[in-house]
Structure 1
């Protein structure tokens, strides 16, 4: 097997329009494709990241909330690479999004911070 990278991360949201606005308008991820699937009463929205990877945003009626604190088993968070973490943190805060203080990864020496999407999914910014 020869893994080449991550193609996409799939996220199930509780409020489709609110999450669509967050990922498309605030995080500035361009929409690749949007589809309403009547048989599931569900939306699927594909969003592009600059490196070619994607985020798939789904809505499913009645989906249970994600346990987060204390942390549950499973995917812990989704991390985005950024060129300027301070500028990115400032931008998010200007959009009314709470962002943790910038910390330094003790292994790599790189800066990182966390914030959350509309469903409290933990998202990370990681300085290149």
Structure 2
């Protein structure tokens, strides 16, 4: 059996680099590890970290095809971030003009959670620690 140590990163392709960069850094608060422009591909690659851990590679490519997310399609369902207080995090997002679904409770863990979307409609979740 293969031995995996941890998830290294999650790669996301965005349609508007500046908009997504602002969303992930200024609204969600991830910090930039490295930003590279790859001229041969007319593409940016932005490495983002959360609390010192490398978590997301944000890519831009010219005219990437759209990927369906609703109704639920095969593939990545959503990306979840742990927070201490879902209601407080929801309020902060809404103050930034981000639409957030009503808070629900996980029937198996009794923890609160909610969903919102990144600028390209990628479903993101806030899950209460």
TM-score, scaled relative to structure 1: 0.96
1:9-20 equivalent positions in 2, closer than 5 A: 9-20=10-21
**Who is 1:62 aligned against?**
63
Indicate conservation of the 8 Å contact 2:47/2:54, yes or no. Answer: no
SS for the counterpart of 1:90 is: helix
- Indicate the residue corresponding to 2:126 in structure 1: 125
Provide runs of 4+ in structure 1 moved above 6 Å. none
Deviations 1:4-62 (A, max 9, x none): 32111110000000000000111110100000000100000011012614111000112
* Counterpart residue number, 1:36: 37
| Contact kept in structure 1, 2:115 and 2:125, CA below 8 Å | yes
Tell me the equivalent position of 2:87.
86
Question: 1:22 and 1:77 mapped to 2: Cα distance?
Answer: 16
Q: Name structure 2 gaps, 5 residues minimum.
A: none
Q: What TM-score does the superposition give when structure 2 sets the normalisation length?
A: 0.95
Kindly state the Cα deviation for residue 66 of structure 1 after the two structures are TM-superposed: 1.3
Unaligned runs of 5+ in 1: none
